[in-house]
Structure 1
Amino acid sequence: MGRVTSATLIAAQAGDGEAFAALVEPYRRELHLHCYRILGSLDDADDAMQEVLLAAWKGLPGFEGRSSVRTWLYRIATTRCLNTVRGHARRPRLEPVPPFDPPTPSKAFDVPHLQPYPDALIDELDPSHRAAARESIELAFVTALQRMPPRQTAALILCDVLDFPLREAAGILTTSPTAAKGLLQRARASAAPFESRDATAADRDVARRFAVAYAQDDVDGVISLLTDESWLAMPPATECYVGRAAIGAFLRASAAGRPGGRYELVETSAAGRPAFVCYLQKRARGLLVITPSADGTAIASIMRFLDDGLHRHYDLPDVLD
Structure 2
Amino acid sequence: MPQPTPPDPNAEVECLSRAQAGDTAAFDRLMAPHRRQLHAHCYRMLGSPFDADDALQETLLAAWRGLAGFEARSALGTWLYRIATHVCLRMVSQRPRRITSPEHGAPLQATAELGEPVAGPVWLEPLPDEEWASATSPEDPASTLQRREHVALAFVAALQHLPGTQRAVLLLREVLEYSAAETAAMLGTSVASVNSALQRAQKTVKERMPAAHAQQHPPLGGQQARDELLARFVRAWEQRDIAAMASLLAEDARFTMPPLPAWFDGRRFALMFFAERVFQTPWRLQPLHGNGQAGFACYLQQAGDEHFRPGGVVLLRLRSGLIGSIDSFIDPAVCRRFGMPDVLL
| TM band (smaller chain) | 0.7 to 0.9
Deviation string for 1:142-196 (max 9, x for gaps)? 1211222222121111111111111111222222222111111111122223234
Question: C-alpha displacement at 1:265, in angstroms?
Answer: 1.0
Query: How many angstroms apart in 2 are the aligned matches of 1:23 and 1:89?
Result: 33
Change (3 A) 1:190 1:89: closer
Question: C-alpha displacement at 1:89, in angstroms?
Answer: 7.2
Deviation string for 1:88-137 (max 9, x for gaps)? 1799xxx9xxxx73379xxxxxx952222223330336435755322211
Question: C-alpha displacement at 1:308, in angstroms?
Answer: 1.6
- Out of 202, 206, 209, the residue aligned to residue 188 of structure 1 is 202
- 2:313 is aligned with 1:287: yes
Contact 1:275–1:289 (CA under 8 A) maintained in structure 2: yes
- Out of 130, 147, 155, the residue aligned to residue 141 of structure 1 is 155
Question: C-alpha displacement at 1:16, in angstroms?
Answer: 0.3
Moved more, 199-208 or 154-163: 199-208
- Out of 231, 237, 240, the residue aligned to residue 217 of structure 1 is 240
2:56 maps to a residue whose letter is M
Deviation string for 1:184-226 (max 9, x for gaps)? 1111122223234357222232222122222333334322321
Deviation string for 1:38-75 (max 9, x for gaps)? 11222221222111111111221222323221111001
- Out of 275, 283, 288, the residue aligned to residue 263 of structure 1 is 283
- 2:90 is aligned with 1:83: yes
Percent identical across equivalent pairs?
A: 39
Deviation string for 1:11-34 (max 9, x for gaps)? 111110111011111111111111
Query: How many angstroms apart in 1 are the aligned matches of 2:336 and 2:135?
Result: 17
Q: Which runs of 5+ in 1 are unaligned?
A: 105-110
Matches within 5 A, 1:74-223: 74-88=81-95, 101-102=112-113, 113-121=123-131, 122-124=133-135, 126-128=137-139, 130-192=144-206, 193-195=212-214, 196-197=216-217, 200-223=223-246
What TM-score do you get using the length of structure 1 for normalisation?
0.84
- 2:236 is aligned with 1:236: no
1:285 maps to a residue whose letter is G
Q: Give the length in aligned residue pairs.
A: 300
Moved more, 162-171 or 60-69: 60-69
What TM-score do you get using the length of structure 2 for normalisation?
0.78
Question: C-alpha displacement at 1:262, in angstroms?
Answer: 1.9
Q: Which runs of 5+ in 2 are unaligned?
A: 1-9, 99-103, 105-110, 116-120, 207-211, 302-307
- Out of 20, 24, 44, the residue aligned to residue 51 of structure 2 is 44
- Out of 298, 310, 314, the residue aligned to residue 278 of structure 1 is 298
Change (3 A) 1:236 1:169: farther
Contact 1:138–1:272 (CA under 8 A) maintained in structure 2: yes
Query: How many angstroms apart in 2 are the aligned matches of 1:42 and 1:62?
Result: 30
1:154 maps to a residue whose letter is A
Change (3 A) 1:22 1:131: farther
Partner residue, 1:107: none
1:45 maps to a residue whose letter is A
Query: How many angstroms apart in 2 are the aligned matches of 1:246 and 1:112?
Result: 25
Question: C-alpha displacement at 1:312, in angstroms?
Answer: 3.5
1:156 maps to a residue whose letter is L
- Out of 299, 319, 326, the residue aligned to residue 302 of structure 1 is 326
